[in-house]
Chain A
């Protein structure tokens, strides 16, 4: 079980907004370490969606946004599209583990 907790699955209809949470502790997100988010489609390499809590790399649509507060972070996806169906992971650093860690991952289903 990951130290960064994500819901195993979320779903939404096309056009809707969904959020994916990433709950950490005082040794990682709560210690002000950045949270990054990745999208992973089976058979493909993971893709960086959000870095530094709320920054989008060039080419990532503004439908994707990130936020962080306290010991938690969230990824929001608006205007859901069928192509958004994928696994999503949060990523941060942990003082106690003295290294990086990923959340357990969330599978997004577009209904």
Chain B
């Protein structure tokens, strides 16, 4: 089965660092972009950025540029999202998703990880 499996829930304090992971299996991990999407409870989905695991090329949403860092280790089919100094406002569920099925101009997120809940206390 094609799937993305994310790391488990995290509880952190403001100012701490964090790195969460997303491991792909069942497909060629280096051939598809991986996106990160944030879901704040009570709010909607927000696109954070994309990374191409083969060469670690990245595109960040202006809202998240400088706030997080995306990386990937293609040898273990894993993408990462990290924070150097968490804030309470980073409390959210974070999803990774594969950009797979292609329309005429852009590709959709066709496979999603199960989500990682990050809770940051102030």
Pair from one complex: yes
Main secondary structure of the interface of B (DSSP, over half): strand
The CA-CA distance from A67 to B109 in the complex, in Å, is 18
* Selected contact of B61 from candidates A87, A99, A105, CB within 8 Å: A99
B122 contacts partner chain A, Cβ-Cβ < 8 Å: no
The CA-CA distance from A98 to B61 in the complex, in Å, is 8
Q: Which of A70-91 contact B (CB under 8 A)?
A: 87, 89, 91
Q: How large is the interface on A (under 10, 10 to 19, 20 to 34, 35 or more residues)?
A: 20 to 34
Flag the segment in B7-15, B66-74, B79-87, B112-120 that touches A. Answer: B112-120
A93 contacts partner chain B, Cβ-Cβ < 8 Å: yes
Known: A36-B103, A51-B103, A51-B108. A99 touches B47 (CB 8 A): yes
Q: Which B residues are within 8 Å of any A CB, using their own CB?
A: 35, 37, 39, 44-47, 49-50, 59-62, 95, 97, 101-110, 112-115
Q: Which A residues are within 8 Å of any B CB, using their own CB?
A: 2, 32-34, 36, 38, 40, 45-48, 51-53, 55, 57, 87, 89, 91-93, 97-105
